[in-house]
Structure 1
């Protein structure tokens, strides 16, 4: 047994040494790196973005880490992220795929590469990008916002203070479900919708927990026959989505004659995917997994954004009142509540942007991989390196943001330069395809919230320390609300 252990350690160390040979080239600066595990210990902490922020303060806009045998480069300021993901997008466009995510990586829009990603991206962007197409969803979003307000007001009647998190998450899940399937859960107490919200929350909380064999592949043999909790939850969601997709397929089959006469016919996004499935342009798994991706990502990030906004303005009554006065002025001038009228709410818009910046929801984005050797800012980055977009540091660096830890919405008033340096939805060709739909949704829902409700609290609600994961979620909190 002892000899086998020695052989195993030798093999691991041999691989490690061979991945560190090319030091004749000028590499980015890096902290102390241990044999075999490298800097993997930084991921063991539940808030790795804090660790990377400290490294950024020490090493600057680009630095290198070693996660097991995986060479990792962290980019932490807008200019270098632009140089990588926009100016050299062909080198940085691929996703870094982890072994533990094999069960979903090759057939979905988030993790796929090559021809599969290009195919799914083209289909999705045609529906999610043109403003004229997403505008048709505004009445549904407005209706769901009113439903959320009803539920929050009911919640406020039952207790003096309450946590609005669940109702907010159901609201945004409903909006995504309506976009995907053209249906919603009108009862916010429905057990199925609550279970889906819980699953999605768990997925994002587990997302930052490191799995050693992702970075030291030789360890995979010890785990390859075990199904992770992460995978089990995804399988449950795939089953749920599959059932809903099947319902849409039956509707399409019933209306086949209508569809043949008008190729643009569809009631929802899944219809578009299914029409591609019927012509063999997409596989069934690509339909299911892409739909699941959109459901998960679209509901969680938007809901967390609104929760952070509510907390920020509950803690800052003066700013909340200024937002309300601007909203009142908007309504008194008979403006229609539509995203195309956002030019009439400059202060409210600035508050939304400052929440994006100050309370970054996705601190490290999805990792990428270089597909060939490249020099960046005078440093050599070898092919196959994992590349991390350090969004958290990008939004809190002192080069771009004066007093970065202060909540100052005014910094965005008439300042398009700073607005461009927000990378909440990513940067480059693989940014969030639905970011325009997300911004429209957030503008409408939060407009209605602060038009209808005044939030307050007897105590300052903790903002900085949040529950870690792929996204950052505020810990449980309670507040008071008054119907306006």
Structure 2
């Protein structure tokens, strides 16, 4: 066993040395901190890599070199550099680094997240853009989401009557899971007070943690076959769990479609699975059941955890800043009226609520380093060479906290967006929490609606008070780093009726 360990260490050293030698011959590389033998700069990432990298970028600049084991990495920390990467040289940086976890169940060969830009990837993006997340499709399915928001308000009202504290992270998660499941499948996956909620939360968070967990097999690809941390094994388990569930749902729907036609006239489902099955049976696209299964996995997991985390972080800041909460509530009262249910069409009439969402996406982006990009060939950026197969990290957290871009960047101030046309739709590179260019998050139109509607539902017609023991700012704003940010301490507050 000792011999194998020594052999692997020596082999990793040789691989890292060969990799670094090739990189050094590529041209003038961006500056960066000293790289240690074998491990490179791994130890400098720390517990919160986005913060550590932001600090390093102040010394080494907006294009910074790192060696993470044998993986050469460039970190982008300014809007100008991000625009070069994601717009001017978009195609050159359109590929992904394939992690060991991403290879579970061959997900990387089917997933829109990992597929290289090509015909299959373009087909899936076009389906998302024109069929799943078009304005027409989202308007058609908004009734499904309104019912989930009504259940959220009813639950909060019950807590008001009984004097119960609300775990805002938990109710946000339940609502988001059901908003996604009803939009995709016309069914609720859980409910308030259900025993399944914790299982759902643990499963989704476990999958996301596994995907975002630092993995020695990614830093040293030669170790992938050994899976020393067991990450690939865990990813196989959790990916398999979701894929099996979605396969059952697809098969049930196919059976229902088969038995209901042509003799029955049951109402047609108005969800995204129905759209995908219609597409798969048409002649415009070749879309297999396996394609649908993996696409649903991408959409459901990514949409659930990030949206729930963003809502909890938003409510945290509003509760810690009562004057901001009052402004948002006053706007809802003036525009929507007392006791009226907000509609998705009302979002455009609520500029302060929009500013609140923009500000939380600047201040606490749930994906602080986005999904890593990879260079397809050598590219020159600002006089530096970024070699082929370089991993590129876009530090959107650093750009959101840059004092050269934002006044008082470490303060939660939605007012900065009231007379500011900067938006998060991918055109303003100082605020790109959903990415930009051809790899931008395809679910943004749905996420945009869900975030505004959930926050509005929680604050319209309700007052909130933090639990006395959770009133400290540090305890309420600390987040855990991962593929998606989550609060380290759950947000709990007592609601009262207005």
TM-score w.r.t. the length of structure 2 is 0.89
How far 1:451 moved relative to its partner? Answer: 0.9
Residues 266 and 125 of structure 1: is their aligned pair in 2 closer, same or farther, counting only changes over 3 Å?
farther
Aligned residues: 478
User: 2:338 touches 2:461 (CA, 8 Å); kept in 1?
Assistant: no
1:454 pairs with one of 445, 463, 467: 463
The answer as to 2:468 corresponding to 1:432 is: no
Higher mean alpha-carbon deviation, 368-377 vs 126-135, is at 126-135
2:208 pairs with one of 190, 197, 204: 204
CA distance in structure 2 between the partners assigned to 1:252 and 1:129 by the alignment = 23
Partner of 1:272: 275
CA distance in structure 2 between the partners assigned to 1:6 and 1:206 by the alignment = 27
User: 1:181 touches 1:248 (CA, 8 Å); kept in 2?
Assistant: no
Q: The residue matched to 1:63 in structure 2 has which SS?
A: strand
Partner of 1:401: 406
How far 1:393 moved relative to its partner? Answer: 0.8
CA distance in structure 2 between the partners assigned to 1:183 and 1:427 by the alignment = 32
Q: The residue matched to 1:228 in structure 2 has which SS?
A: helix
1:7-18 residue pairs with structure 2 within 5 A? 8-18=8-18
2:165 pairs with one of 154, 161, 164: 161
User: 1:85 touches 1:427 (CA, 8 Å); kept in 2?
Assistant: yes
Partner of 1:482: 496
C-alpha distance after superposition, 1:174-222 (max 9, x if no partner): 0111111112247323334442222112223344321111121222232
Partner of 1:221: 225
How far 1:29 moved relative to its partner? Answer: 0.9
The answer as to 2:314 corresponding to 1:309 is: yes
Partner of 1:468: 481
Higher mean alpha-carbon deviation, 188-197 vs 401-410, is at 188-197
How far 1:140 moved relative to its partner? Answer: 2.4
The CA RMSD over aligned residues, in Å, is: 2.7
Q: What are the ranges of 5 or more consecutive residues in structure 2 without an aligned counterpart?
A: none
Q: The residue matched to 1:166 in structure 2 has which SS?
A: helix
User: 1:180 touches 1:268 (CA, 8 Å); kept in 2?
Assistant: yes
CA distance in structure 2 between the partners assigned to 1:69 and 1:340 by the alignment = 50
C-alpha distance after superposition, 1:96-131 (max 9, x if no partner): 111332122111122222333222111111124422
CA distance in structure 2 between the partners assigned to 1:100 and 1:456 by the alignment = 41
User: 2:32 touches 2:66 (CA, 8 Å); kept in 1?
Assistant: yes
User: 2:465 touches 2:495 (CA, 8 Å); kept in 1?
Assistant: yes
Partner of 2:33: 31
CA distance in structure 1 between the partners assigned to 2:278 and 2:337 by the alignment = 45
Partner of 2:20: 20
CA distance in structure 2 between the partners assigned to 1:243 and 1:194 by the alignment = 22
Higher mean alpha-carbon deviation, 249-258 vs 412-421, is at 249-258
User: 2:167 touches 2:492 (CA, 8 Å); kept in 1?
Assistant: yes
Q: The residue matched to 1:38 in structure 2 has which SS?
A: coil
User: 2:247 touches 2:293 (CA, 8 Å); kept in 1?
Assistant: yes
Partner of 1:57: 58
User: 2:374 touches 2:392 (CA, 8 Å); kept in 1?
Assistant: yes
TM-score w.r.t. the length of structure 1 is 0.91
How far 1:448 moved relative to its partner? Answer: 2.2
User: 2:174 touches 2:191 (CA, 8 Å); kept in 1?
Assistant: no
CA distance in structure 2 between the partners assigned to 1:48 and 1:72 by the alignment = 13
CA distance in structure 2 between the partners assigned to 1:342 and 1:187 by the alignment = 26
CA distance in structure 1 between the partners assigned to 2:47 and 2:291 by the alignment = 32
CA distance in structure 2 between the partners assigned to 1:222 and 1:433 by the alignment = 34
How far 1:296 moved relative to its partner? Answer: 0.6
Q: The residue matched to 2:40 in structure 1 has which SS?
A: coil
The answer as to 2:397 corresponding to 1:384 is: no
How far 1:67 moved relative to its partner? Answer: 1.3
User: 2:461 touches 2:497 (CA, 8 Å); kept in 1?
Assistant: yes
1:283 pairs with one of 279, 282, 288: 288
Residues 188 and 399 of structure 1: is their aligned pair in 2 closer, same or farther, counting only changes over 3 Å?
same
The answer as to 2:249 corresponding to 1:247 is: no
How far 1:404 moved relative to its partner? Answer: 0.5
Q: What are the ranges of 5 or more consecutive residues in structure 1 without an aligned counterpart?
A: 260-264
Q: The residue matched to 1:247 in structure 2 has which SS?
A: helix
Higher mean alpha-carbon deviation, 464-473 vs 272-281, is at 272-281
The answer as to 2:368 corresponding to 1:367 is: no
1:445 pairs with one of 448, 454, 457: 454
